[in-house]
Each structure stands twice: as C-alpha cells, then as structure tokens.
Amino acid sequence: MLPYKSLIRVDRNAAVALHIQVCNGFIALITNGTLQPSDVLPGSRILAELIGINRNTVKLAYEELVSQGWAESVERKGVFVLPGLPVIARKKLPENNTNTRGQDAFTWTNRFENALPSKNLQKTKLAIDDGFPDVRLTPVDELMREYRSISRKSYGKNFLKYGSSKGSEHLRSAIRSSLSQTRGVAIPAENILITKGSQMGIYLASQLLLQPRDHIAVGTSNYALADDTFRHAGANLLRIPVDGKGMDVDHLEKVLKKKKIKAVYIIPHHHCPTTVTMSMERRLKLLGLAKEYRFAIIEDDYDYDFHYDNKPYLPLASIDHNQSVIYLGSVTKTFAPALRIGFMLGPPKFVDAAAALRELIDKQGDTVMEEAFAVMYNNGEMDRYSRKSLKIYRQRRDQFCEILRTDFKKEIIFDVPEGGLAVWARFHPKIDLVKMSREAAKKGLNIDDGIFYRNESFSVNGLRMGFASLDEKEIVEALGILKSVLNENFYF
C-alpha cells in the first residue's frame, strides 16, 4: 500500500473542508500517475486512522471523488480509481525527499534570460533610489476620496464597464488642458492615449515604428529599459554621443547621411542617467532633421514637472509643426510610481493604432482611477501638490548636494542637477560599486550597484542617486552610512 500518511495531508485550520482536502489529495495522486486506473483505494477505516481524521470524513471524500468522475464504488469490494481514465506514467516516489529536475513541459523562447530582476523597494526602509518621488508627500487621501466618491455615485457605475482603450475622456481632457497651460502643447484630447506609465508608451511606439533590423538612434548613455524595448522589437541601436547639451545632433546628422534611421529616442529634460538637458539649438535642429529625413522622434518627458533653477525648455512636441514627435509623459513618476498613469501624444492615426495595440496586451486602464485623477487636475489639487513638492525637492537637492560636496570630495564627482529627482554621481575608479552596494545593504541602506546604467558603449563607474524620496534626517543618515561603507572598504 502507498504511504498515504505522507501523501494525503490535511490542514484543520484551512478554509477548505477536510473531505475536500482529502478528495483533492487523491485527484493529485491520480493526475501525477501515482494512482493508476482501476487501483483500489484504502478502506475508509484504514485511511481515517492513517491521516488522523473521522471515518465519515473519508466516506464523504470518496463520495466526492465518485461524483466528480475520478473513482467508482463497487459494492462489497471497495472504491477504485475509474478504469476509463487515461493511463499516466506512474510517478516515481521521491527518495529521501530529493527532487530531480526534468525537462520543461513545453518549448518556448526565452528572450529575457539576461534581464536584471526588478527592484522591490516596497520592503526597503532606507534607500538612495534611482530618483523617485516621496510618496509620503502625495495627496493619496484626496485621490482615494475622489475614487470612493465616483464609485458610489450612480453615474460612476458606468466607469466599471468596458470603456475606451484610449482612456478616460475626462482625464484626457484634463491632461490636454494641463499640457497646454504648462508646456505649450496644443493638441486635441482625441490625440491623447492614457497609458500605464511612460514605459508602456515606449513599448507601443516601438511596436508600431520598428521592424526587425530597422535602425533607431539612442544616446550612448540611455535609459536601459528603452534600449531593451527597442531590441525586443528587433531594431538595431545606433549610439549617438551625449554631452552637457544633450544628444549630439551634429553627430546624428552625419549618421543620417549614411544610414536610414526609423526613429530617434531622446530624453531632453534630465536625460537618463546623466540628468543633462538638451539645448534649444539642438532641439530645433533635431526637428529639422526629422522633417528632412522623415524619421519619428520619441520624446520621453517623464519628469518635466521638476525643474528648480529656471523655467524649463518647452518640449519638442510644443514646437513640432510637422507631426514628427511622439510625446510620452508620466503622471505617476511625479505622484507615486505604483499608481500607473501616463500618456502618449502623437498624430491621430498613430494614436488610434497605439490604442488598438494596447487592447491586445491590456484592454484598458483603471477608469475609476483615471476619473479620480481627472478630478484632481480639475480642482487644482495636482497643481497644488506640484508646487509644494517642487519646493521640498529643491531643498532636499540642495542639502544632498552640499553633503556630497563636503563629505565625498575624493569619492564622487557630480554636477548639481537643474531638475529631476536624482544626481548623476561618478565614483572614483577604485570603488567597486557592486561591493559598495552589498556592504551598504548590510548596514541597512539600499543603493544601486550601477550595472543598470551600463551598456555596450557606456561603462562609467557611476549611478543615479535619488534625493527626493528622503527627508532631511534620512539624507543625513543614508549618506552617513554610505560614507562609512566607503571608508571601511576602499582606500585610495
């Protein structure tokens, strides 16, 4: 007889009834081949004693097996696995609780074997992150109040049904108004697609623009997930130098004379990872090249709202008179990363196609949440939050950079960023960032190891150091830990 005492286990604290647990246990033994068609099951008295339950419970389990078509009861003989079930190769019982790895059950193509695991900052107490907002400042209570209010109202019930794949009409209208007032982007609401953040916009644009072996121009240093997205579409990445004035458009022009380029991806405000801003002269020339050579510009403007020292340059989308720009923005990058709201702007037919593609991977967004954000825009709450957070983040930037300037003279080279939520820090060549990250974690500080920012053309010993998500005391604590790690582990 099989070792049912170890094979059939029950949990008296589980929500599932005991007889169902026993029934499910037998189904598992049948489907993995341990029990074969026509095998006899142990008597109810014997099984009850083996697994420590009431005999009537076992009888109920057997009745359930019979009713589900897994077994049959033969009078005066017992209960048997149904003879008509397909034969499954008998599973070899494990010896000494060891398992051997078999082949995959099916073949598939893994294009993500080398992908870096995403970082889970939800369990991190103290972190110098990539440059995220401080979620403690966001008016979440106000947002949730609007969310609840909409869901309770009679008209709000309609938002629980399927809606437009372009997103909430009210949010698109609110974003259109906001972009017109703050960024000089004049575009109809129909030309706006609500996305789950700028990353979805990058994916949608790449799928529509790029075919295998097409060329796309990107910065020598660039947002790594954008690079991966373009590679996933089969495109070839052409690296264009990035200096203190952004992407070198003169170099791009030389490349255009030799190769057909389908698109150019840029982050003109606070380039990732270096935080530099693209000059207006280069922006205008890039638009001219796009018109001349007929390529698309994917403008990723994920954190336009955070600019500290002067009024930021207007986006390329605001001065694009040829409809060459696909403009991507993010609400949640400035509000809270987990609340996924972004937007894509572009020519009408392109946005329609992006909406159709979006339906294939994500039918639509959270309409009630989008409606709540629309209210937040319309009642001025988003504007009030933006002004408040901008003031606080500027103070944190100044404090963070002052400590770097005074306490990390030998270890870090950096420029004070004009905007954004992070400092691009270049570390002394003798500092092993992977070791630094590992040792900092032992002291309770989560800091990146710099690998994410490197690519085949860019290997600066640097990383982005976010200051916005840390308050004044946390900045002192975090940089204090980092200083101690560098003092204890690196000598130069």
How confident is the model over 11-20, as a mean pLDDT? 90
Q: Identify whether residues 378 and 395 lie together within a single domain.
A: no
Q: Tens of pLDDT along 56-65?
A: 999 999 999 9
Residue 167 C-alpha from the chain's centroid: 19
Do 230 and 275 fall into the same domain?
yes
Phi, psi at residue 238, to the nearest 5°?
-105, 115
Domain assignment of residue 406, yes or no: yes
Burial (CB count within 10 angstroms: exposed 0-12, middle 13-18, buried 19+), residue 78: middle
Indicate if the pLDDT at residue 97 is higher than 90. no
Tell which residue, 68, 60, 67, has the closest CA to residue 21.
60
Say whether pLDDT at 293 is over 90.
Answer: yes
pLDDT of residue 96: 52
Candidates 464, 369, 490, 472; CA nearest to 132 is: 464
Please check whether residues 424 and 292 belong to one and the same domain: no
Indicate if the pLDDT at residue 134 is higher than 70.
Answer: yes
Task: Indicate if 365 and 397 belong to the same structural domain.
Answer: no
User: Is residue 92 domain-resident?
Assistant: no
Q: What is the pLDDT of residue 311?
A: 74
**Secondary structure (3-state) at 303:** coil
Confidence class for position 162, pLDDT limits 50, 70, 90: confident
Residue 148 resides in a domain: no
Average pLDDT over every residue of 374-398: 94
Residues 329 and 404 in one domain: no
Q: What is the mean pLDDT of the chain?
A: 91
- Highest mean pLDDT out of 68-72, 100-104, 336-340, 475-479: 475-479
DSSP type of residue 398: H
Whether 172 contacts 166, CB under 8 Å: yes
Residue 347 identity (one-letter amino acid): P
Of 321, 355, 382, which residue sits at a domain end?
Answer: 382
| Cβ-Cβ contacts under 8 Å for 471 (sequence gap 6 or more) | 134, 136, 396
The answer, yes or no, to whether residue 306 has pLDDT greater than 80, is yes
Question: Domain for residue 11, yes or no?
Answer: yes
pTM score > 0.85 for this model? no
Q: Within this chain, do residues 367 and 407 fall inside the same structural domain, yes or no?
A: no
Poorest-pLDDT segment among 233-242, 325-334, 418-427, 456-465:
325-334
**Pairing between β-strand 296-300 and β-strand 263-266 as defined by DSSP bridges:** parallel
CATH code of the domain in which 8 resides: 1.10.10.10
Residue 125 is classified by DSSP as S
pLDDT of residue 202: 96
Res 92: pLDDT: 60
- Does residue 110 carry a pLDDT above 60? yes
Read off the tokens for 50: 């083996």
Highest mean pLDDT among 125-134, 255-264, 315-324: 255-264
Q: Is residue 100 part of a domain?
A: no
Res. 101: pLDDT tops 80: no
Q: In whole angstroms, what is the distance from residue 227 CA to residue 235 CA? A: 10
pLDDT bin (cut points 50, 70, 90) of residue 105 is confident
Closest CA to 400 of 464, 461, 466, 445: 466
**Strand, helix or coil for residue 149:** helix
Give rounded-to-5 percent helix, strand, coil for the chain: 45, 15, 45
Residue 482, pLDDT > 90, answer yes
Domain end call among 54, 81, 108: 81
Count CA atoms within 13 Å of residue 143 on its CB side: 17
More confident residue, 91 or 6: 6
- For residues 163-189, give the mean pLDDT: 91
Instruction: Say yes or no to pLDDT of 41 above 90.
Output: yes
More confident residue, 350 or 75: 350
Range of the domain at 300: 159-382
CB 173 within 8 A of CB 189: yes
Distance CA 433, CA 418 (A): 25
Query: Which pLDDT score is estimated for 491?
Result: 77
Residues 6+ apart with CB under 8 A from 238: 215, 216, 217, 218, 255, 259, 261
Asked if 351 and 192 touch (Cβ cutoff 8 Å), the reply is yes
Please indicate, yes or no, whether residues 350 and 433 belong to a single structural domain of this protein: no
**271 located within any domain:** yes
* Residue 315: closest CA among 350, 349, 346: 346
382 pLDDT exceeds 70?
yes
pLDDT computed for residue 91 by the predictor: 60
One domain, residues 453 and 477 = yes
pLDDT, residue 89, reads 74
Peptide bond connecting 268 to the previous residue in cis, omega within 30 degrees of 0 = no
pLDDT band with cut points at 50, 70 and 90 for residue 76: confident
What value does the mean pLDDT take over residues 397-417?
96
**Is a pLDDT exceeding 60 seen at residue 403?**
yes
> Which domain-ending residue is among 364, 382, 400?
382
**357 and 220 part of one domain:** yes
Asked whether residue 98 is assigned to any structural domain, the reply reads no
CA dihedral 134, 270, 202, 281 (to 10 degrees): 150
Secondary structure (3-state) at 236: strand
Domain harbouring 315, CATH code: 3.40.640.10
Question: How many helices (DSSP H) and strands (DSSP E) are in the chain?
Answer: 15, 16
Q: How many domains does the chain have?
A: 3
Q: What is the pLDDT, as a whole number, of residue 95?
A: 54
Compute the average pLDDT of residues 7-15. Answer: 89
**278 and 361 both lie in a single domain:** yes
- Same domain? For 262 and 354 the reply is yes
Q: Are residues 373 and 411 in the same domain?
A: no
Split at pLDDT 50, 70, 90, the class of 408 is very high
Q: Give the confidence band of 252 by pLDDT, cuts at 50, 70, 90.
A: very high
Asked if the structure places residue 149 within a domain, the reply is: no
Greatest pairwise CA separation for the chain in angstroms: 93
Asked whether the CA dihedral 438, 479, 306, 141 is positive or negative, the reply is: positive
Provide the β-strand partners of residue 464: 424
Does an H or E element contain 330, and which? strand 325-330
Is pLDDT at 278 greater than 70 in this prediction?
A: yes
Q: Which amino acid is at 217?
A: A
Condensed to tens digits (0 to 9), the pLDDT of residues 185-235 reads 988 999 999 999 899 999 999 999 999 999 999 999 999 999 999 999 999
The CATH number of whichever domain residue 391 belongs to comes to 3.90.1150.10
